[in-house]
Structure 1
């Protein structure tokens, strides 16, 4: 597998019948769901699950998606989604990159970048990252 960056966090995906739109391929909205699933599983692996978010009264909320849809995915195909944390100010904002690959032919189907902002769950307002976020997400930050 050829990844854009080394050592991605990777999840396996299978294109289900419910993912297919009227044009016969995976609907674009499904790809966004896969981005969220991959980011969330990576956060959980870093020890930052929903219980921890609630305990800290903080969460990372999406403020921007940039998605390049490069090729279609079809029902029954096995896919792999990789993610990397590529930027963080360790105060409020963090960026992740994603790559969706079809292992059968090595083709990259999607590249994306998502910007997150730390919010206080109780108010929904932007709030500085707690030390646990700086530590957990910081460990995964790709250093240039």
Structure 2
């Protein structure tokens, strides 16, 4: 969960577009650590998932002191090179969806930056989940 601070507000009085991307990134890293792929593990495997495409649909605005939930789920994973996450950003007080997004990744060799096949640990840890599973009230919260 995130709480909108004054630093998040732009000249138009709402959360700046770039802040949403920051929230998505923090959520991805929280989930990545949760499934056992922290930075140290990625370094030891010499692999990481690099963003190749972001697609963000801004639906409504967030404002100062709003509490925000970011849901994410693995919507694709070929177990070889590519994976995708889908996101839904929701204002908690009225459950209004503020943003929907999708990010596509490619597995890379951390020492060269070139695409390289996923290690087995990535393929197993990045399991595809449904939106219903990810946004269910029973879903375990992963602190960002």
> Which of 112, 118, 129 lines up with 1:142 in the alignment?
129
1:43 aligned partner: 32
Corresponding position of 1:7: none
Q: How does 1:87-126 map to 2 (within 5 A)?
A: 87-126=76-115
Measure, in 2, the Cα distance between the counterparts of 1:45 and 1:96.
15
Q: Secondary structure at the match of 1:122?
A: coil
Question: Is the contact made by 2:73 and 2:130 (CA closer than 8 Å) also made in structure 1?
Answer: no
Query: Which residue in 1 is equivalent to 2:17?
Result: 28
- Consecutive unaligned residues of structure 1, counting only runs of 5 or more, are 1-11
Structure 1: distance between partners of 2:92 and 2:16 = 20
TM-score by length of 1: 0.88
* TM-score, length-scaled by structure 2: 0.88
Q: 1:75: how far off?
A: 1.0
Cα distance in 2 for partners of 1:133, 1:59 equals: 9
Secondary structure of residue in 2 paired with 1:71? coil
> How far is the alpha carbon of 1:32 from its aligned partner?
0.6
**What residue ranges of structure 2 are gaps of 5+ in the alignment?**
132-144
Pair 1:74-2:50 in alignment? no
Q: SS in structure 2 opposite 1:74? A: coil
Output aligned runs, 1:9-20, within 5 Å.
12-20=1-9
Q: Does 1:65 align with 2:66?
A: no
What is the number of equivalent residue pairs in this alignment? 131
How far the C-alpha of 1:142 sits from its partner, in A, is: 2.0
User: Runs of 4+ in structure 1 displaced over 2 angstroms?
Assistant: none
Distance in 1, matches of 2:63 and 2:8, equals 9
| RMSD (Å), alpha carbons | 1.2
Deviation of residue 106 (structure 1)?
Answer: 1.0
